[in-house]
Amino acid sequence: MAYSVDSIPDLSGRTAVVTGANGGLGLETAKAFAGKGAVVVMAARDQDKAARAADVITRATPGAQLEVVPLDLGSLVSVREATEQILDSHQVIDILVNNAGVMAMPERKTVDGFEMQFGVNHLGHWALTALLMPAIETADQARVVTVTSTAHHTRHGVDSANPHQRGTYTPWAAYRQSKLANYHFAIGLQREFESAGVRAASLLAHPGLSNTDLQSRTVREGGVGDSGRFFETLSARVGMTAAKGAMPQIRAATDPRARGGEFYVPRFVGNGAAVRRPILRAGADAAIATLWDVSEHETGIELKV
């Protein structure tokens, strides 16, 4: 049978942190965790939207244990403040879902001067994961789930000489670079866990073609013209609901049979039930090493297990 919300085991006593939990896949992920008894930290930039999302969850699960934490992944100061707030309340984090992201926007910088897509989709999550590591390591069997995209297939690893694509920027190339960074990050993190002998696990997921606000935001940003409108229309017509699109990351985070280094995706790439698929190009040692060097250099934060 297909893995569903009903398949999730009891999560009582566990703490889950979900980035971008104020809408789309993140909201559905937070809702699923809360419905199974987890304490869910909803880390999101738009606090008004996050409050509305929390209301949605509590209507579905009265008594849901929710905490809303401000998090702007485009600001290292915000990431530090969010992690401090989380760690003040939680010595143990059992699940971290690095879900939030942006796609194919016009060239823009984070407050730290990073290219926005690489900064939000990867560097912000790098910093968050690194700073939460003490609580992740303390958990009995923590899971870190990083959300990538099929776009990771179409680009080489990050260019260490120009990771922010200054002078060469195009919206889709930057998005592909950020999603490949997510892919390499999850694989590299699993290697770090194994090398350190900790019981935490790093897994990958991608949501296929899901009808969320991601495509519409790309169109609103106005960076990709006809291609953005094409994907917005396609997702609206044939894309999965956010609830179905979130199932790969939900399964990666909760399936008792899942193991570190695994990749969960829709059965038919763009849609279908959440299934495990082989990780291709897993041995991209040079690309992972470069990503680690670039990430530590740009953020000034060492990811140490």
Q: Express each pLDDT in 248-266 by its tens digit.
A: 999 999 999 999 999 999 9
The fold for domain 5-209+243-296 equals Rossmann fold (3.40.50)
In terms of Cα–Cα distance, which of 144, 150, 149 is closest to 260? Answer: 144
Domain definitions of the chain by residue range: 5-209+243-296
Between CA 132 and CA 258 the distance in angstroms is: 22
Residue 222 confidence (pLDDT): 56
Between CA 187 and CA 12 the distance in angstroms is: 28
281 — alpha (psi -120 to 50), left (phi > 0) or beta?
A: left
Between CA 128 and CA 17 the distance in angstroms is: 10
The sign one gets for the Cα dihedral 221, 223, 229, 234 is negative
DSSP 8-class letter at 269 = S
Residue 203 confidence (pLDDT): 98
Q: Is 183 one of the catalytic residues?
A: no
Query: Using alpha carbons only, how large is the chain's radius of gyration in Å?
Result: 18
Residues 207, 147 contacting (CB under 8 angstroms): yes
Cα–Cα–Cα angle for 255, 257, 258, nearest 5°? 70
Between CA 125 and CA 286 the distance in angstroms is: 21
Q: DSSP per residue over 213-260, as a string?
A: HHHHHHHHHTSSHHHHHHHHHHHHHHPBPHHHHTHHHHHHHH-TT--T
Residue 268 confidence (pLDDT): 79
Spans of the chain below 70 pLDDT: 150-155, 210-239, 269, 281-283
Q: Decide: residue 59, CB within 10 A, 0-12 exposed, 13-18 middle, 19+ buried.
A: exposed
Residues 250, 32 contacting (CB under 8 angstroms): yes
Between CA 153 and CA 157 the distance in angstroms is: 10
Residues 28-63 pLDDT 10s: 999 999 999 999 999 999 999 999 999 999 999 999
Residue 221 confidence (pLDDT): 59
Residue 224 confidence (pLDDT): 55
DSSP 8-class letter at 158 = P
Residue 281 confidence (pLDDT): 64
pTM: 0.92
63 — alpha (psi -120 to 50), left (phi > 0) or beta?
A: left
Residues 40, 33 contacting (CB under 8 angstroms): yes
Q: Among the options 3, 175, 183, 264, which is catalytic? A: 175
The sign one gets for the Cα dihedral 21, 24, 28, 29 is negative
Residue 219 confidence (pLDDT): 47
Amino acid identity of 164?
H
Between CA 130 and CA 140 the distance in angstroms is: 18
Amino acid identity of 181?
A
Residue 236 confidence (pLDDT): 56
Residue 208 confidence (pLDDT): 81
